[in-house]
Amino acid sequence: MASPSKAQIFQWLEAVKDPEIPVISIRDLGILQGIRVADGSVSVDIIPTYSGCPAMYAIQADIKQVLQAHGIEQVSIQLCHEPVWNTDMITEQGRESMRAFGIAPPLQADQRTVACPQCGSTETTCISQFGSTACKALYRCEACLEPFDYFKCHA
């Protein structure tokens, strides 16, 4: 079988999502860093979001599974230390998926207030800097009173 192209593999890996936020792919999260193809074997470089993130194990297993389902027997995955991940690496598509899922995306350079992903109000209060996972803080919207997760800015 001919080796699949890099672009093809990128597209296949679109199916690998962050297990904690199952609407955002590892590419949109910015942790898929490189792909090398040689003689039917594929090598994938990923970087961790948070250094202790337990989802990295599930993500590695998922990458392997997806590629093997497409007939690639030899898959190797490197967990790299560089580049150092930050939230600016999340794509616009990723931010949009996050919002639609009910998680406020990380603030960007020109933003000052966290907007509620439900109603859009910027009248929000941080309840705890540490939320359900290492990457999230817990907020409450003062307009619609819903609590929500905020994906912390990390840069």
Partner 1 sequence: MQKDLSQYTLRLADSALTMGQRLAEWCGHGPYLEEDVALTNVSLDLIGHAHMFYQMAGAMQEPAVTADDLAFLRDAHEYRNPLITELPRGDFAYTTLKQYFIDVFNLYLYQAMATSTHEELAAVAKKAGMEVKYHLARSEAWCERLSLSTDEAKARIQQALDDLWFYTPELFETDAAMQRLTAAGVAPDYATIQQQWQQRVEPFMALCGLTLPQAGWVATGGLQGEHTEHLGFMLAEMQFLPRAYPGCEW
Q: Which residues bind Zn ion (CB under 5 A)?
A: 116, 118-119, 121, 141, 143-144
Supply the DSSP string of 107-126, one letter for each residue. PPTT--SPPPTTT--S-EEE
Residue 94, Ramachandran bin (φ over 0: left; ψ between -120 and 50: alpha; else beta): alpha
* Minimum gap (Å) between residue 120 Cβ and Zn ion: 7
- In this structure, the strands spanning 124-128 and 17-18 are unpaired
Which of the ranges 5-13, 70-78, 82-90, 93-101 carries the binding residues for partner 1, by CB under 8 A? 82-90
Q: Which is nearer to partner 1, 108 or 129 (CB)?
A: 129
Tokens of 123: 């009248």
Q: Establish if 132 lies at the interface with partner 1 (CB under 8 A).
A: yes
Q: Establish if 131 lies at the interface with partner 1 (CB under 8 A).
A: yes
Among Zn ion, partner 1, none, residue 121 binds (CB under 5-8 Å by kind): Zn ion
